[in-house]
Chains A and B, each alone.
Chain A
Amino acid sequence: MQFKEVIKIILEGYRANKIRAVLTILGIVIGIGSVIVIMSVGAGAQSLILNQITSMGTNLIGILPGASDPNGPPATVFGLTITTLKYEDAEALRDRSQVPSAVAVSAYVSGVDTISSNYESLTGNFMGVSAAFPEVEDDEVATGRFFTEAEEKGLARVAVLGAQAKKDLFGANDPIGQRIKIKRESFEVIGVLSAKGSNIFSDTDNRTLVPVLSAQKLILGIGHLGFIRVKINDAGNLDQAKEDIKTVLRQRHGISNPADDDFSIRSTAQALDVLGQVTDAIRFFLAGIGALSLLVGGVGIMNIMLIAVAERTKEIGLRKALGAKRKDLLLQFLTEASLSSLIGGLVGVVGGIAVSGIIAVVAQSLGYNWSFIISPGSIILACLVSISIGMIFGYYPAKRASNLDPIEALRYE
């Protein structure tokens, strides 16, 4: 039997039972649609989280004081002050012969204290960082300049403001050349950073930066660092760079047994990996639940196909009398089930994409850095799955039709 004929018969059937056809197909539409939406929205939410980490730079290695499990929380989380990491450690990591892939290194200390300008006085977050900070953090100076290495080493009383900190302290006034006070120490504002946007981890624009040694000696009165960040030239060199850094620090700290490490090393790539795995697991779990509704849709198709076979018993008998073979009838009913399911799948894909798109637009309009992601693979998979569901659930009814005894079928009323 010609495939075109089969399709024609099926379309005539749809026309004769429009509501039934729509309801049959609806089961698959809902199933495929929900899988597409879950996968897309899941990918969007995942990208939201991962983008925020990526925005910090994927080539970053963080060195924290104190030993910790590489996948566990850093020791400082428990409120301990660990003083093992020094400014000289950061200096040593800048040595290209020791860590060849390092392109920029910044030391960090931070504190919270009263920060005041001529206009405002507030309790704010300040950080002591190295001159290489803009390179490490991919920050740009919007006006003025960042401080130099000479200023860093020379305990200069200079400060660079984040975009929000500038607004808070100076409003619309030009801060360059004006002075601010942190605690009771006076600093000259020499630059303002471009706005970077906040992320779920920290409000990066709301900070005041001073040279790290100035912060240590003039404000905090401490000799240790909060952490060090090293930017490396290529993500591919990440593992080697970690090893190099360990070697340098062990040598400096006189550690021979790695178990005695008094520092720990993290990379953003590592964090991306872990978070990516977790969010993937959630996505696929939810998609699995969505797929269950596909099974329900498949049972719906089987049900309707069984009714169709029963209703068309006489027609099946006639077709057999006119020369239809078993495989002709098997093909006809299998095609009908698959086509119903495929149409449902296609409508589900389109509907799913539309719903995912609306969710993405709404999320973006709410200010989230949300990506609208539909993978072509998921569309192809959805189509294949829907055809397979039609075949699997259509097989039994089709087999039943093809096995009907023509005489019995012709007598059927």
Chain B
Amino acid sequence: MDTLLDVKNLTKDYQLEDITASILRGITFTLNAGEMVAIMGPSGSGKSTLMHILGFLDRPTSGTYHFRGRDTQTLSDDELAVLRNKEIGFVFQSFNLLRRTSVLDNVKLPLAYVGHKVPDSDERAKKVLEAVGLSHRLNSRPNQLSGGEQQRVAIARALINDPSIIFADEPTGNLDSKSGAQVIGIFKKLHHEGHTIVLVTHDLNIAREAHRTLHIKDGEIIQDEIAPTH
């Protein structure tokens, strides 16, 4: 399998007045295309920071990060924006949909930043909405949808640019268990279709759905566990 992410000795420090807080203390792992991985740890363990760095929203203090064989250290902010747009799909705990905008336009939002006009944008948006089972809610506003439906719209939005990897940060954190299960079901389905998925969670039940779990504590990977069932 192709190596998608190759991370070595990644650290992240925050300067808080006189104190230096080390959030990540030397993270090393690789991730292959087509994997479904859970990054698990208690709050404050550094899992969100790790996801931000892996998703090019943040830069590490030290260490190397190769994405599809390419060193990302020297990339400019604009080049990172291009990577976020084309290679990464984000799903957030609080959905982060634009309230005043229709489901269809919310899903199309990343296409606004690809740098050129996308002629078949409507078709593409409808296709990914169909994949999450919402092709009947194209013209609804987010506030007319249930939480589970909103999160599925967010997943569709993450899929629209056919990214190499999807990062989901506590995607079921704001959902009831039934909607949560539905959302996890969609991630599993996408995984079976060949998508690479990283779930960030503190919920062991969610993590169990992934075939591999990176346990993080105090900024370090304490266990890299491959589930035998997968």
Contact = CB atoms under 8 A, between A and B. Distances in A.
Contacts of A137: none
Interface in B55-102: 55, 57-58, 77-78, 81-82, 84-86, 90, 92, 96, 98, 100-101
A314 B96 contact: yes
A324 B100 contact: no
A321 B101 contact: no
Nearest to B160: A322
B81 A2 contact: no
A410 interface: yes
21 contacts: A1-B112, A1-B113, A2-B112, A2-B117, A13-B100, A15-B100, A16-B100, A320-B57, A322-B90, A322-B109, A322-B113, A323-B81, A323-B84, A323-B110, A323-B161, A324-B112, A325-B77, A325-B78, A325-B82, A328-B113, A410-B92
B58 A323 contact: no
B136 to A, nearest CB: 23
Interface in A294-349: 314-315, 318-328
A12 interface: yes
B57 A321 contact: yes
Interface of A: 1-2, 5, 12-13, 15-16, 314-315, 318-328, 406-407, 410
B114 interface: yes
Contacts of B188: none
Given A328-B113, A406-B57, A407-B58, A323 B85 contact: yes
Given A407-B52, A410-B96, A323 B113 contact: yes
Contacts of A15: 100
A99 B101 CA distance: 81
B100 A12 contact: yes
Interface of B: 52, 55, 57-58, 77-78, 81-82, 84-86, 90, 92, 96, 98, 100-101, 109-110, 112-114, 117, 157, 161
Contacts of A322: 84-85, 90, 109-110, 113, 157
Given A314-B96, A407-B52, A321 B112 contact: no
A325 B112 contact: no
Most buried by B among A12, A321, A407: A321
Most buried by A among B55, B96, B157: B96
Nearest to B116: A2
Given A12-B101, A323-B86, A328-B112, 18 more contacts: A1-B112, A2-B112, A2-B117, A318-B96, A320-B57, A320-B84, A321-B55, A323-B82, A323-B113, A323-B161, A324-B112, A325-B77, A325-B81, A325-B113, A328-B113, A407-B52, A410-B57, A410-B96
